[in-house]
Amino acid sequence: FPASAWIAARHVCLLSRYSTTAGPQFRALFEQLVEQSLGVPNIAARVALIPTAAYCEYGENPESRSNARADAESDAARLCADLGLASCDILELDAFDADPLGLRSAVKAIDPHVVWVTGGNTFYLRHFMRTSGFDKLAKELCAPATGRRALVYVGQSAGSICGAASTDIAHFKGWDDPAKAPESVLPYGLRLAGEDISIFPHYSKEKGHDELISIQSKSFGLDTSENHQVLRLRDDQAFVWSQTAGDTSGTGVATSFTFCSDGSLENLCYPPPLPPLAPPPLHETAPDIAAAFYRGGAVVGGVPCTGEPAIDPSRLVQRGDSEWFEEGSPVGEPQV
């Protein structure tokens, strides 16, 4: 099969709140996702923990930053104890602002099986996902080209919103202050569960969230597509999308469901598998696909870098949804 005929693996878990989802049932789910990712059972996972969303509430002075780091280390220790991890290393995206190559080097050093993005301010998180280059890197790692191992993506609260389709969801309840982000953020997330699935975390029917979702979806234009879904997640629930690699003739299989902390599953279905979000390296690419990204050995489709990312002179070209790379580097080729 040509590269375009293949379906790559993808393993995504989006939850509202870890503390109320945690337990032996969630650990079993987590271990299953890791096993599906690696193809090997009983592996103690290495996790890259991204606490950036919570950092905006601490302030920029050294003492506040130290407190933020201490809380993140406490979260990492709990995950290690709860899930039997081999390691849980903290990755602060704001520390790699305008330094995507530095972020890639840090991720390479951690060599994670799982990328875990915690909660906080969605707008602050999405901003630094872009300026650090994490949005491009996450697609390469968690929704890669054919034949490459997909890391597990776990997002909680803000991390789940940013992992799904629309970040406008963060406006619905008014909990997150958009002004906390240094500049206006992109209205869409990583789309790891597809372009038509957005996550509304901390859902409560008793608090009138159904009506709120209906009103705000119209306000933000999310009701214009008949295929778009705003998935409601209670604090004891997680949404899972997991697909195995294969080809479009039917060997690639996707499964999605809502996991409840008591171990029960809701809305189990087998949707069409999603295609990779990152193009393969040139030597793995079918000629017709390669032509879409290269012309005469040069990257095409880029536009001049504008806005605050231009403070880094090495980031000269922008492609797609603010995915930054050095001029002349192959599209999709890992820069580590």
Q: Where are the beta strands (DSSP E) in the chain?
A: 6-7, 10-15, 46-50, 87-90, 114-117, 152-156, 197-200, 229-232, 237-243, 246-247, 254-260, 265-269, 294-295, 298-299, 303-304, 317-319, 323-325
Q: For residue 89, with 0-12 CB atoms within 10 Å meaning exposed, 13-18 middle and 19 or more buried, which class applies?
A: middle
Is this model's pTM higher than 0.85 or not?
no
What span, in angstroms and rounded, lies between the C-alpha atoms of 30 and 207?
Answer: 30
What span, in angstroms and rounded, lies between the C-alpha atoms of 289 and 213?
Answer: 39
Contact between 112 and 89 (Cβ < 8 Å): yes
Q: What does each C-alpha distance from 296 to 3, 27, 237, 293 come to in angstroms? A: 21, 50, 50, 10
Q: Which of 152, 168, 187, 172 shows the shortest CA–CA distance to 32?
A: 152
**SS3 track for 163-228:** HCCECCHHHHCCCCCHHHCCCCCCCECCCCCCCCEEEECCCCHHHCHHHHHHHHHHHCCCCCCCCC
Going residue by residue through the chain (336 aa), what tens digit of pLDDT does each one get?
344 445 678 999 999 999 999 999 999 999 999 999 998 899 999 999 999 999 998 988 889 989 999 999 999 999 999 999 999 999 999 999 999 999 999 999 999 999 999 999 999 999 999 999 999 999 999 998 766 789 999 999 999 999 999 999 999 999 999 999 998 889 999 999 999 999 999 999 999 999 999 999 999 999 888 889 999 999 999 999 999 876 555 556 899 999 999 999 999 999 988 988 887 654 444 444 334 333 333 333 333 333 444 333 333 334 444 444 443 343 343 333
Phi, psi of 89 (to 5 degrees): -100, 140
Q: Structure tokens of 42?
A: 């009983």
What span, in angstroms and rounded, lies between the C-alpha atoms of 240 and 151?
Answer: 14
Q: What does each C-alpha distance from 309 to 40, 96, 135, 169, 313 come to in angstroms? A: 40, 12, 14, 25, 9
Q: Structure tokens of 331?
A: 């599209």
Contact between 105 and 134 (Cβ < 8 Å): no
Tokens 């630094």: give the residue.
128
What span, in angstroms and rounded, lies between the C-alpha atoms of 197 and 212?
Answer: 18
Note the pLDDT of residue 289.
36
Contact residues for 69 (Cβ-Cβ < 8 A; gap 6+):
90, 92
What span, in angstroms and rounded, lies between the C-alpha atoms of 304 and 119?
Answer: 33
